[in-house]
Amino acid sequence: MAVKKPFLKIQCTVCKTTNYFAKKTKAMAEKKLELKKYCSKCRKTTPHKETKK
Ligand SMILES: [Zn+2]
């Protein structure tokens, strides 16, 4: 049985590739998440943001 969990997709703001998944926490819900993450497509560290469906 699949349980629905509030998962966020963390997307590269440069190439729009979804690189990471994160479990949604209360702290994340309060403010827009922005992370500096390595993007394998850009091949560098880029700002990543949560996406919504
Ligand atoms: Zn990228």
Structure tokens given for 10 = 């963390």
Q: For ligand 1, a single-atom ion, which residues have Cβ within 5 Å?
A: 12, 14-15, 39, 41-42
Angle ∠(19,23,29) on CA atoms, nearest 5: 105
Place of tokens 């500096």: 36
pLDDT, residue 4, reads 75
Structure tokens given for 34 = 């922005």
Residue 2 lies in a domain: no
Residue 1 lies in a domain: no
Residue 34 lies in a domain: yes
> What total of structural domains would you count in the chain?
1
- Partner residues linked to 8 by β-bridges: 22
Q: How far is the CA of 1 from the centre of ligand 1 (A)?
A: 34
Residue 31 lies in a domain: yes
CATH of the domain at 36: 2.20.28.120
pLDDT, residue 30, reads 66
pLDDT, residue 7, reads 78
pLDDT, residue 41, reads 97
Segment 2-51, tens digit of pLDDT: 777 777 889 999 999 999 888 876 765 666 678 899 999 999 999 999 88
Find the domain containing 17 and state its range: 7-51
